[in-house]
Chain A
Amino acid sequence: MVSDVSMAVDLGGIKMKNPINTASGTFGNGWQFEGFYDVGQLGAITTKGCAAEPWDGNPAPRMCELPSGIMNSVGLQNPGVREFVRSYGDYLQGLEERGCRVICQVAGHSIEEYVRALELFEELAPFASGFEINISCPNVSRGGAAMGATPEAAAEVMAAVRPRTKRPIVVKMAPHDVAEIARALEAEGADALSLINTIPGMAIDVRTRRSKLSRPTAGVSGPAIHAIAVRMVWEAHKAVSIPLCGIGGVTSGEDAAEFILAGATAVSVGTQNLVDPTAAPRILGELTDWAASQGVSDINELIGAFEC
């Protein structure tokens, strides 16, 4: 595909050669996709959430299928920052050198844990172009979504992590009250916001009267939540001036284009990576074609260009 449209975007200081990013937790740590395509062609990847110390995550089963989506309860299983960097640091450094920005997601159960994890990343991960603070995981008992549940709580986390790095901080937001929480995060110095995380849901096995997963509630993702995510990106776009990364049910260039029009600077491909492992570069091609078809010379002209 040949296109004259400039696709480069700036996600709060993270200079991406195109708007396509990958949603944390749906892309391993990048290398898993190298057997499918050259990951270096993507604008960015966001690595699996990682805390200062290892987390086991939740018991099985962690996934069930839903109409046009899935529900997961992984619970941020991760090896801890040190082991993460030891295992994947060289690969991620190489990915940066190939022009794909690496955004490392930071997890914690408490403000102190977010700070500790970010300090370790800051020290051990010079390759990272930026960090995504996950204050919206619905699958952990402490921290997670509770840390981003109110503007006050979200602001408190942001205020604590901001002084720990000069690199860009993106905050991964929960799917509620996005305008208020986005304003609070912007006020505390967030460079960009990514939204939405999975939407809490339930699936009950009526025969056993138990949850189909190991916890009563879990996070819904996939095409089923796309329209909700587009609406929330639009609400955040109207509320703040920092850039946004749209996430939720992107399966095509058209889905990605909706996020751009609603106000997103970048777009993450999530669940679709898992079921269609070559989705991200295909979506990049389709998005580029769409931008060309809109008659612009720069994709940035289309950010927030939704007409209402």
Chain B
Amino acid sequence: MQPSSKVHLYDFEVASNDAVGEKVYRLVMRSPELASELRPGQFMNVAVPGDASHIVRLPFSFASTDPEAGTVELIYAVVGEGTRRLSEMPAGSTSTVVGPCGNGWDVKPGGRALAVAGGVGAPPVIAAARALAEAGREVDVVLGAQTKSRLWGEDDARALGAGEVVVTTDDGSYGMRGFTTQAMEALLARHEYDLVVTCGPAVMMAGVARLAEGAGVACQASLERMMTCGFGACSTCNVAMRAGGYKSCCMDGPVFDASEVAW
């Protein structure tokens, strides 16, 4: 079979771009073809204008799409120069986006599922939880943040019909004080799951993967890497595998079977 690529370059227009928390923003982009092609867990590589010396695109997962309106919802944190410039893109401004990139979550029907998100890992996890709920599963959601002002996703988790929604903050400013893995352990003791989906800091995902493996539950993790192209041309976003060697985050992932990753 001949290899083929379904990744395209699209224009987008910013429909809205507002702060929804401390350094957390919600950007709605209008890009009808991309909106109809993206599947939960896939990502896009966005050119952020305003500084010609900054040549690399920024990869983002998304929280939701609205194919009818032709829009894609991004939730992102301002962590550096690129995301700062993105946060300053006003409604009506335009740029380009490469996508849809990578493979999404496997959201086939099944038993009860647990979605565990840390920080800005929440958008793709909410997208996964929504798709799992639509596939007829019971879904519980754990959302972790450093502090209440950095938390995003609780309303979305409740709106998608999640069974239990547990919020943790590192500083105890909201919800349970502690880490998502502690909340996950409590849920694993109370419910029978057959799937865990997770996205967040690598150290958190490694803990989630360990707990899932210990409980004999399949776990899908969405990984983040420094990334250049997003469509398999440069080999810079490698992920080390337990069995040895590497896979490509943008082509084989970003969602991996957590048991195959060398955490």
Give the B-binding residues of A (Cβ under 8 A). Answer: 25-29, 31-36, 48, 56-57, 59-65, 67-70, 72, 74, 77, 87-88, 90-91, 94, 222-223, 271-278
Contact = CB atoms under 8 A, between A and B. Distances in A.
Given A88-B3, A91-B3, A273-B233, A69 B9 contact: no
Given A222-B55, A275-B55, A56 B5 contact: no
A65 B232 CA distance: 18
B258 interface: no
Contacts of A222: 55
B39 to A, nearest CB: 16
Contacts of B237: 60, 62-63
Interface residues on B, range: 20 to 34
B240 A72 contact: no
A222 B228 CA distance: 12
A56 B237 CA distance: 13
B5 A35 contact: yes
B218 interface: no
B231 interface: yes
25 contacts: A26-B233, A27-B233, A28-B232, A28-B234, A31-B3, A33-B5, A33-B233, A35-B4, A35-B6, A36-B5, A36-B8, A57-B246, A60-B237, A60-B239, A60-B246, A61-B236, A62-B226, A63-B228, A67-B53, A69-B55, A72-B236, A74-B236, A88-B3, A222-B55, A275-B229
A277 B229 contact: yes
Contact of B7 (A25, A35, A88): A35
Interface majority SS (helix, strand, loop, mixed), chain B: loop
Given A34-B5, A74-B234, A74-B235, A271 B55 contact: yes
A24 to B, nearest CB: 11
Interface of B: 2-9, 47, 52-57, 98, 225-229, 231-240, 244-246
Contact of A34 (B4, B56, B239): B4
Contact of B235 (A25, A273, A278): A25
A64 B226 CA distance: 7
Contacts, number: 117
A275 B232 contact: no
Nearest to B3: A31
Contacts of B47: 275-276
A272 B3 CA distance: 23
A94 B9 CA distance: 24
Contact of A32 (B9, B232, B239): B232
Given A31-B5, A275-B56, A277-B98, A70 B228 contact: yes
Contacts of A275: 47, 55-57, 228-229
Contacts of A88: 3
B233 A32 contact: yes
B8 A35 contact: yes
Contact of A25 (B5, B56, B57, B234): B234
A277 B225 contact: no
A59 B240 contact: yes
A244 to B, nearest CB: 24
B233 A274 contact: yes
B206 to A, nearest CB: 14
Given A35-B8, A77-B235, A277-B9, A56 B228 contact: no
Given A26-B234, A35-B7, A77 B246 contact: yes
Contacts of B5: 31-36
A64 B80 CA distance: 14
